[in-house]
Structure 1
């Protein structure tokens, strides 16, 4: 039987591989290690104190129990056959066993285990062999002397050792296979041998059904994934196509806009000419040759302009979405003055606010007390302006005449918070999650184009992702809403002649500030890996989880990167063995000392030496052995950063709609 550790439940082990076992007995294969076993992911048997203590079966019953357990882990037909041929021969005591699959009108001798060659790989008509007879008649065949039974094709058996046999069907309702046991002597098989073979066949039937279900499920999953991938490819192709032809799509609209402008001017000129003629008392009602005075004409021209504007807005929004979805837009972080940028946007949109009867005001940190020096924003200014412009347009559009919009900037830890407040209709709590979806307009069920298209916040969300930030919303129905954007920033440049700190390895020459005075960013991770391909993959996957990543190839590279880094990391992920004077554990400790704070560390290594575990544990680092699953690393990152002070970064405070100066 299967070799198992003493005291271990027989249900804890299963077949893992079956290669190299042809010609070996069931017990020999198990004890030799040719058919290895592995722990099965199932619960332990009840403890001795439980009502049903574990039972170790022995003899044929134990063999059947182990067979059923082994078959439960088979995921394909070859695995089932390999398990069955070993078990059937051991249980029956036969000199050989075959596994026969029904292949239409043929019997396919797919596998065998015997003292001599039989018919592996060959196919025979169902009507000419005993396995076919068993499957057609749905009953076992017991033949003590094959040369005395006319169901046996004697010519096919003469080259073999076979003198007697038992053949049993796999499934008795609609047999799909058969299992044959053969002896080199003329003998009458015992009833127990036949019963055990039939039990093997019944277990095999269940295993084959499970394999079929598993393969069907796998095929369904693969088909679903293929469809999803095809849909994604089609969507990206659409986006790339629209992005590529954006110029061509804009051209006809631009031409229409020019012609519309000319018609509008003719209408204005014609109306003025008619008014002049009427005032002069000429009494002529004729329209000048260069003018359109008809009221209907002017109305049609006005409607054409509105329709053209709606089309331009729709095309612009669709192309923006397509370009963003196509992945052709990348963020280009730069340092710039955030307050001046926000003030410029407010000034540019003030005219639209006045036309809508909405008061718009700006409150910056410089006007609110001790936090006057916000420093500089460190992000893509073009994308940030697009985000804020969309938020401002929405706030004006959904705030009624006489309402107010407030734009504020304030510090939040090492970032700056830009908020757009309004006294508009507000958003119900149940609908907050949907406002960033495309074509969603909660207060525009009639699809009035003058109220927008519902793409603005969808574009905002996409751009925010490119910037590595989020846009959040809080609202009180009937009072208003506040949309918040967290913008990463760096301290303002120091005054000329400010001394740079030289007493620390991590002195930052950019601003001369000591590391002890700097706050670390828990969303920034230092990843140290000497293998270039692994380093690239590690950085990419961590970034896909929403973190900022600084990569280094060794301990010296990591220390150099920290000297030049804008943000200090909140976590270090490092290989244990690194080029340079320090290993991964020592590097984490060194950086923590230089930063004068506890720095969480995750050490990944292929070394299973207990000394590595002890060294990592002594410094508080988490140890992960290679190869590891990405979700294991992600869980370790989240656990390591849990409770780490994020520098006070918030999404805002106060109540929506509270716009008092």
Structure 2
């Protein structure tokens, strides 16, 4: 059961019983008026104040302290005792008297007057203890007690009793008895309140301990995941290093072949595919390293004036062999003036390569990939448009996260290219997003500030 429901369930009976206990104060108040009419002054101790004190206690020692003091002061008795039922025994838990009585001792229920009161569930008034056969005389001879009254705590299934003792012969008045019974009723409610509070405290402690254990497990799992991530990144760096050098050599060899004027069309297409594939490996390896640097806060663009039109033309030339192999075309529309953009040419170039490569691989044969770029007073906006299946709306934010890919039959990849693009664009102070391409496909867009912050 949730804590708030537990509080409601446990507190409601307590509130009802406390209302009943407060209602029981009416009788002592009425009898107190009668006492004044007879020329006797009622107790100066406020029973209402005692009830308020009992409503605030949270443990048995505090409760017994309130009761031991109030039980004597309310009636002006020479002694008062607070008795708890302990199975078939009466436990004299607390007392307040002119001389010591039986505090800390236990007696059989059938051998003491408090037990009689609990067994019969009624109050007892004895004016002369030596004339009442219910009194164990030998237990009382060493004491000052001559008269007494005893009331049960809860008349249904009593859990204890409260008694008053007098050193001289005294007949308990109805007013005194009503005061003591009202105190016993309030004490019964307060004892249940202590139990409720203890139960709530235990529930809170158990829940706190459970949450602390879960928190500890989560911390350990988090530490293990961090260590695993560290190991993966170390392995990735090692793999990237081992891949980058041979791939770069392949790129160099393919570029030299493509420069040969004696290369036939078929051979040129084959070497173009070799070049673009090897270049993609180099680009992916660099993206892995740049992503790691970005997460560590070390990916800082090297700003310079960039001819965006010239850079787009280079990217088109590099990836055209891959597009032609798929019978695709690459169109360019760029109206950005030369020198209008401050950026890191290498990061921007790899961003364009990733996006155009992605568009080629996710577009059908005999389709067209289009690169659009335009500038206004504040931003340079670039869009790479494909005619592929598109990106579902619910994935357009997470598609830029690492290792996230749109599942598509026959497509492979590591899910790092778009993550790198987003990090590179954001490192420039720009933003990335995806739109629908009309009539089909997607537009992968990004924009960069025309002039970098702090540039003159």
Q: Structure 2 length as normaliser, TM-score?
A: 0.51
Match of 2:381, SS? strand
Query: Equivalent of 1:399, from 363, 378, 394?
Result: 363
* Aligned partners of 2:377 and 2:450 also within 8 Å: no
* Greater Rg over alpha carbons, structure: 2
Aligned to 1:235: 229
Query: Equivalent of 1:92, from 58, 63, 67?
Result: 67
* Aligned partners of 1:236 and 1:326 also within 8 Å: no
Deviation at 1:490, TM superposition (A): 1.4
Deviation at 1:390, TM superposition (A): 0.3
Aligned to 2:92: 142
Within 2, Cα distance between the matches of 1:149 and 1:139? 6
Within 2, Cα distance between the matches of 1:186 and 1:465? 89
Say yes or no: does 1:335 pair with 2:299.
no
Would the alpha carbon gap of residues 140 and 240 (structure 1) be closer, same or farther in structure 2, given more than 3 Å must change?
farther
Aligned to 1:410: 374
Aligned to 2:241: 247
Residue by residue over 1:262-283, the C-alpha shift from the partner in whole angstroms, topping out at 9 and shown as x without a partner, is xxxxxxxxxxxxxxxxxxxxxx
Say yes or no: does 1:425 pair with 2:389.
yes
Within 1, Cα distance between the matches of 2:248 and 2:338? 48
Would the alpha carbon gap of residues 395 and 311 (structure 1) be closer, same or farther in structure 2, given more than 3 Å must change?
closer
Deviation at 1:485, TM superposition (A): 0.8
Aligned to 1:531: none
Within 1, Cα distance between the matches of 2:69 and 2:209? 32
Say yes or no: does 1:375 pair with 2:343.
no
Say yes or no: does 1:385 pair with 2:385.
no
Output aligned runs, 1:9-158, within 5 Å: 59-63=49-53, 66=56, 84=59, 88=63, 91-92=66-67, 141-143=91-93, 145-146=102-103, 148-149=105-106
* Aligned partners of 2:425 and 2:432 also within 8 Å: yes
Aligned to 2:326: 356
Output aligned runs, 1:251-290, within 5 Å: none
Within 1, Cα distance between the matches of 2:451 and 2:378? 7
How many residues align? The count is 299
Residue by residue over 1:449-507, the C-alpha shift from the partner in whole angstroms, topping out at 9 and shown as x without a partner, is 4xx4443223323434444433211125862211111112219xxxxxxxxxxxxxxxx
Within 1, Cα distance between the matches of 2:292 and 2:325? 31
Within 2, Cα distance between the matches of 1:220 and 1:489? 50
Any stretches of 5+ residues in structure 2 without a counterpart?
A: 1-47, 71-82, 96-101, 109-164, 168-179, 255-273
Match of 1:482, SS? strand
Query: Equivalent of 1:203, from 190, 197, 207?
Result: 197
Would the alpha carbon gap of residues 396 and 311 (structure 1) be closer, same or farther in structure 2, given more than 3 Å must change?
closer
Aligned to 1:224: 218
* Aligned partners of 1:471 and 1:485 also within 8 Å: yes
Say yes or no: does 1:444 pair with 2:420.
no
Would the alpha carbon gap of residues 59 and 438 (structure 1) be closer, same or farther in structure 2, given more than 3 Å must change?
same
Match of 1:424, SS? coil
Deviation at 1:92, TM superposition (A): 3.2
- Greater relative CO, 1 or 2 (CA 8 Å, sep 6+): 2
Residue by residue over 1:138-192, the C-alpha shift from the partner in whole angstroms, topping out at 9 and shown as x without a partner, is 99943451365489xxxxxxxxxxxxxxxxxxxxxxxxxxxxxxxxx99999735
Within 2, Cα distance between the matches of 1:310 and 1:325? 22
* Aligned partners of 1:317 and 1:456 also within 8 Å: no
* Aligned partners of 1:314 and 1:453 also within 8 Å: no
Within 1, Cα distance between the matches of 2:280 and 2:338? 43
Residue by residue over 1:97-123, the C-alpha shift from the partner in whole angstroms, topping out at 9 and shown as x without a partner, is xxxxxxxxxxxxxxxxxxxxxxxxxxx
Would the alpha carbon gap of residues 375 and 309 (structure 1) be closer, same or farther in structure 2, given more than 3 Å must change?
closer
Match of 1:146, SS? coil
Residue by residue over 1:199-219, the C-alpha shift from the partner in whole angstroms, topping out at 9 and shown as x without a partner, is 323322222222221332243
Within 2, Cα distance between the matches of 1:210 and 1:314? 56
Deviation at 1:375, TM superposition (A): 2.4
Within 2, Cα distance between the matches of 1:324 and 1:213? 42
Deviation at 1:242, TM superposition (A): 2.7
Would the alpha carbon gap of residues 234 and 346 (structure 1) be closer, same or farther in structure 2, given more than 3 Å must change?
same
Would the alpha carbon gap of residues 66 and 424 (structure 1) be closer, same or farther in structure 2, given more than 3 Å must change?
same
Deviation at 1:431, TM superposition (A): 4.4
Query: Equivalent of 2:432, from 471, 484, 488?
Result: 471
* Aligned partners of 1:470 and 1:485 also within 8 Å: yes
Match of 1:336, SS? strand
Deviation at 1:396, TM superposition (A): 1.7
Match of 1:490, SS? coil
* Aligned partners of 1:387 and 1:460 also within 8 Å: yes
* Aligned partners of 2:291 and 2:419 also within 8 Å: no
Match of 2:374, SS? strand
Aligned to 2:5: none
Match of 1:444, SS? coil
Q: Structure 1 length as normaliser, TM-score?
A: 0.37
Would the alpha carbon gap of residues 391 and 148 (structure 1) be closer, same or farther in structure 2, given more than 3 Å must change?
closer
Would the alpha carbon gap of residues 468 and 59 (structure 1) be closer, same or farther in structure 2, given more than 3 Å must change?
farther
Match of 2:408, SS? coil
Query: Equivalent of 2:419, from 444, 452, 458?
Result: 458
Question: RMSD in angstroms over aligned alpha carbons?
Answer: 5.0
Aligned to 2:442: 481
Say yes or no: does 1:213 pair with 2:207.
yes
Residue by residue over 1:410-467, the C-alpha shift from the partner in whole angstroms, topping out at 9 and shown as x without a partner, is 2255221111122333334344345335555546334x54xx4443223323434444
Aligned to 1:639: none
Deviation at 1:405, TM superposition (A): 2.0
Any stretches of 5+ residues in structure 1 without a counterpart?
A: 1-57, 68-82, 96-129, 152-184, 262-304, 367-371, 492-563, 568-661
Larger helix percent: 2
* Aligned partners of 1:359 and 1:403 also within 8 Å: yes
Would the alpha carbon gap of residues 389 and 249 (structure 1) be closer, same or farther in structure 2, given more than 3 Å must change?
closer
